[in-house]
Structure 1
Amino acid sequence: MSFSATSNRPAAPAGVIPDLPGVVVDPSRVAELRTSVAQLLGLPNERFPGAQPVSFLERHIADLEAEDFFVCEKSDGVRCLVYAVVNPRGQPETYLIDRKNNYRFVPNLQFPNPPDRQPPPFHNGTLFDGELVVDQEPDGRSYMTMYCFDLLASSGENLMPRSLMSRLGYLKEHVIRPYQRLVESNPRFAQAQPFRVVAKSMELSYGLNKVLREDIPKLKHKNDGLIFVSVKSPYIPGTTEKMLKWKPAHENSVDFRVNLEYPQGGGLSARPRFVLSAWQGGQNYVQFGELGLTDEEWNHFRQNGIQLENRIVEVTYNPDHCPPAQWQFMRFREDKPHANFITVVERVIQSIREGITQDELMSRCPSIRESWKARPRS
C-alpha cells in the first residue's frame, strides 16, 4: 500500500510513546460524545469502554489449552479507541479516545463505508480499538501507525456481543480495506493522513512460536510481550480474563503514583524518599513500595526541572538497581489517569514471582495445538 506517512507531522523516535494527534475537544462536546458512545454500546456508564488485559499467570496456560485464543505481539505505544461519526451537517468526523476518556478530533481522518453499504459514504457510529506506535524504517525514517485489533461497533450496530472472529471480519472488510482503497486511489487524501491504519496480525494461540521467533524480530516498533485474546468471547469493557498479557521478566512493569517524602528538617534541598502508591478507586491510594533513583538519576530530574510529585510512573521490579528500593523508573505515563488498581499490582507481582519464560511458553505449544485440534468445530 502506498502511503505518505504524516509529512506535516514529524513522528517521535521509534520506541518512544507518541502523543495522540488531533485537537482536544471542549467539555460540552465531550459530554455529548461520551453519551453517544455509551448508548451505542448499551453501557450503563460513560467510562472508557476499552477492554484491559490481565497479567499472564501459570494457571493461564491451562486456559490456552482449554479454549481457543488468538495471539499477537504486544506493541509498546498508546492505547486508544477510534470513533467515526457523521455530524448533523453530514460531514464525517473522527475522534481518538484515550484511557483517560478524553476525546481528540482528528482532521482529515475519515473512514469510508464499503461500496455495498453506501449510502452513507462514510462510517457513522463506528468504534474500533487499537494501539498507536512509532514505526521506524531501516533508513531512519519514522512515522506513526495505528494497529487495529478489535471492533466494538460498526455503522451504529453494537458488535460487542459477537465473537472476536466475527468482529475481526467486520473490522477488516468494513473498516480497514475501504480505508486502504481510498488511501491508494487518492494521493491527496493519503498525504493528509495523520498516521497509517492497518489491521494487527494475529495467529492461533499455538502459533506463538512464530510470533516470538519470526514476527517480533521484524517489527519496526518497540514490543514488550504478547497478548492472548479469546476467540469466542464477546468484547468485555474493563479488566477481563479473556484477554491476557505476557511480558518477559525485564518488561513486566507496574504503573504507580509517586510522591516525595522529605526528611524532617532537611528542607527541599535534601534527598527525599520516592514513595510509590497503588490506586484503590476514587481518589484513594495506598503506599506499596519505593522507587529507587541513583544520585545520577535524581540529579537529572532536578537539574532539568522534571516534576516527579503526584505523577504516574511506569516501573520495573529490579531490587539490584538502587537497594533497598525495589522498583526502577522506566518512564512517565501521561496517558493514564490513575496508577494501576491494587489488585492489578498484586497480579503483576504474582506474575513476576511465577516468572513464566519464553521457553516455557513455547514448550507448551504442542499441547495447546493438540487441544485446539481435538475440540469439535461447529
Structure 2
Amino acid sequence: MQDFYGLEAVRKFFGEKFTKTVAHEIDGLIFQPVNEPYCAGRCDKLLKWKPPSHNSIDFLLRIQRICKPGRCDKLLKWKPPSHNSIDFLLRIQRICKPGELPEYIGFLYVQHENEPKAQMKATKKLLPYNNKIIECTYTNGKWEFMRERTDKSLPNSSKTATAVWNSIIYPIDKEMLVAYVENICNRRSLNFLNI
C-alpha cells in the first residue's frame, strides 16, 4: 500500500530526512488527481515522473548475425509521432556470406511493430536474452542493457516508447519538478486568498 501526500510534500521526498525513512531509493513519483479514484494499470490521468537516470524502455531483443563490411543495404528511420525531428537511425547490413566475419547486432522492437526501433551491439552478456523482453537505458548516445523483464510478456508500445524517449531527450530533473510544483502551490494559495 502506497501513502498519498499533497503537492506541498514534493520537496520533502528528496530531503535526507525522508529518504532515510524508506528502505529503498525513490525512483519516481506518481501524481494522482485529487478528485479522481485511483485507477490500477494504465491511466492517462496520472502523471508519472522519474529522474532522467531512471528512464528506460522495455524492448523485445532480436539478435542477428550481420556482415561487418561498411556497406549498408537498408537505412531505417523511426520518427516518433510527437517529434518529427527525432530519429532512431538504423543501419541494417546484409546477412553474412561464408567466409565473411560476422558481427552480432541486437535489434530492439516495440509492441506490434515489424521494424526495429533501435539497435545495440550484441555482446556475449546479451546473447542469452535473444527473443526476450529487456529493459534498456539510453546513455552517451547508445542503448544499454539493464535487465531482463521476466515480469513482462510484451515490450512497451510505440506510444509508451515515444513518451519515454521524449523524457530522455527532454529530461525534467528533480529541481525542475520541485520548482514547478511549488509554483503551482504558490499560485493556488494566492487564488485561495483572492490576491
Structure 1 residue runs of 5 or longer lacking an equivalent are 1-147, 149-199, 321-325
Structure 1 vs Structure 2 CA RMSD = 2.5
Is the counterpart of residue 370 in structure 1 residue 186 in structure 2?
Answer: yes
Relative to 1, partners in 2 of residues 1:338 and 1:243: Cα closer, same or farther, differing over 3 Å?
Answer: same
| 1:196-345 alignment, distance < 5 Å | 200-213=2-15, 214-236=17-39, 238-263=41-66, 264-265=96-97, 270-280=102-112, 284-292=113-121, 298-301=123-126, 307-320=128-141, 326-345=142-161
2:77 is matched with: none
Percent identity (aligned): 26
Inter-partner Cα distance in structure 2 for 1:266 and 1:225: 50
Asked whether the equivalents of residues 278 and 345 of structure 1 are also in contact (C-alpha less than 8 Å), the reply is: yes
> 1:273–1:206: structure 2 CA closer, same or farther, 3 Å change rule?
same
What's the offset of the Cα at 1:245?
1.4
Residues of 2 paired with 1:202 and 1:341: CA distance?
Answer: 28
Question: For 2:117, what is the secondary structure of its paired residue?
Answer: strand
What is the deviation of 1:299?
3.0
**How far is the alpha carbon of 1:331 from its aligned partner?**
0.6
Confirm or deny: 8 A CA contact 2:137 2:143 kept in the other structure.
yes
- SS of equivalent to 1:364: helix
TM, length-normalised to structure 2: 0.71
User: Partner of 1:111 in structure 2?
Assistant: none
Q: CA offset at residue 255 of structure 1?
A: 0.5
TM-score norm. by structure 1 comes to 0.39
Q: Give the secondary-structure state (helix, strand or coil) at the position aligned to 1:274.
A: strand
Secondary structure of residue in 1 paired with 2:108: strand
Cα distance in structure 2, aligned partners of 1:203 and 1:359: 19
| Secondary structure in structure 2 of the residue aligned to 1:230 | coil
Q: What secondary structure does 1:287 align onto? A: coil
Contact 2:31 2:46 in 1 (8 A): yes
Give the 3 Å change call, closer, same or farther, for CA 271–308 of structure 1 in structure 2: farther
Between the aligned partners of 1:229 and 1:243, the Cα distance in structure 2 is: 5
1:1-378 equivalences under 5 Å are: 148=1, 200-213=2-15, 214-236=17-39, 238-263=41-66, 264-265=96-97, 270-280=102-112, 284-292=113-121, 298-301=123-126, 307-320=128-141, 326-373=142-189, 374=191
Are the equivalent residues in 2 in contact too, given 1:279–1:286 (CA < 8 A)?
no
Q: What CA deviation, in whole Å up to 9, does each residue of 1:295-320 have, x standing for no partner?
A: xxx23455xxxx21110111111135
Distance 1:246 1:272, change over 3 A: same
Greater strand share, structure number:
1
Aligned residue type for 1:202: F
The change in CA–CA distance for 1:334 and 1:369 in structure 2 (over 3 A counts) is same
